[in-house]
Amino acid sequence: MQRGGEGEEEEEDGEDDGGPESALQKSPFQLTAEDVYDISSVVGRDLLQLSAGPEVPAAAARLQFSMVRVLEMLEALVSEGSLTEEQLRMERDSLRAELEALRGRAAAGSAQQPNLGPDKMVIDLTDPNRPRFTLQELRDVLQERNQLKAQLLVVQEELQCYKSGIISQRKDQAKELEKEPCDSNPSTSKDSHEKTIIKRLFSFKHGK
């Protein structure tokens, strides 16, 4: 019976070296359910011997060994399990705290900008290059710049006229201009130069 049982176990666990007893030698952290069944079969066999078999003392000794070994394994597993449990609990607590913090921040954020929609923007108030002027202010500044630039152009033109000494005589020349007959005789180059200056004066006079 014992031999037969052993033979069956060996067939089932072909890869194991020492039959069902070898399960007791394994590290408790590598035990599988199969190993537990092996241990149970070993213990069961010895219990059978204890009640009915001829080898009572031997069976009792083996049972004692098995019990001690099983209890050792149980101890190792329990302490390992409680260690793991402790680790997991700590991990869970820290994740829970992180989640709370994120939730709190999200709540604070949505409290500040309650209608933050897809077209809204969050502005970092510590960013020196953050947007801070309105479109209307930019429009006004541009308008002012354009006006100043136009004035500058007029002043430059006026300065040019003073430099070339025209402006003091401009009234007289403008009168001459009006009197000038409209004929199509081509002028000499010297004439046309003088007239170019007058013309520039003219464009200034009617500038703005």
Comparing CB distances to other proteins, the nearer of 16 and 157 is 157
Extract the tokens encoding 22.
């070898």
Smallest gap from Cβ 161 to other proteins, in A, equals 12
For residue 72, the Cα-to-chain-centroid distance in whole angstroms is 49
At a CB cut-off of 8 Å and minimum separation 6, what does 25 contact?
A: 18
Using the rule CB under 8 A, give the single segment among 20-28, 29-37, 112-120, 187-195 that binds other proteins. 187-195
Q: Given phi > 0 = left and psi -120 to 50 = alpha, else beta, which region is 165?
A: left
* Contact characters 97-126, other proteins, x per CB under 8 A: ------------------------------
**DSSP string for residues in 96-150:** HHHHHHHHHHHHHHHHHSTT--TT-----TT-TT---S-HHHHHHHHHHHHHHHH
Decide: is 147 part of the binding site for other proteins (CB under 8 A): no
Decide: is 127 part of the binding site for other proteins (CB under 8 A): no
Closest CA to 59 of 43, 76, 78, 46: 46
Are 9 and 41 within 8 A, CB to CB?
yes
Q: Which of 58, 95, 153, 155 binds other proteins (CB under 8 A)?
A: 153
Q: Which of the residues 22 through 61 are near other proteins (CB under 8 A)?
A: none
Smallest gap from Cβ 98 to other proteins, in A, equals 39
Q: Which of 89, 105, 139, 171 binds other proteins (CB under 8 A)?
A: 139
Q: Which of 3, 119, 135, 190 binds other proteins (CB under 8 A)?
A: 135
Comparing CB distances to other proteins, the nearer of 90 and 142 is 142
Decide: is 170 part of the binding site for other proteins (CB under 8 A): no
**CA angle (40, 45, 46) in 5-degree steps:** 100
Comparing CB distances to other proteins, the nearer of 99 and 153 is 153
Round to the nearest angstrom and report the end-to-end CA distance of the chain.
126
Are 129 and 169 within 8 A, CB to CB?
no
Decide: is 192 part of the binding site for other proteins (CB under 8 A): yes
Residue ranges that bind other proteins, judged by CB under 8 A: 135, 138-139, 142, 146, 149-150, 153, 174, 177-178, 180, 182-187, 192, 195-196, 198-200, 202-203, 206-207
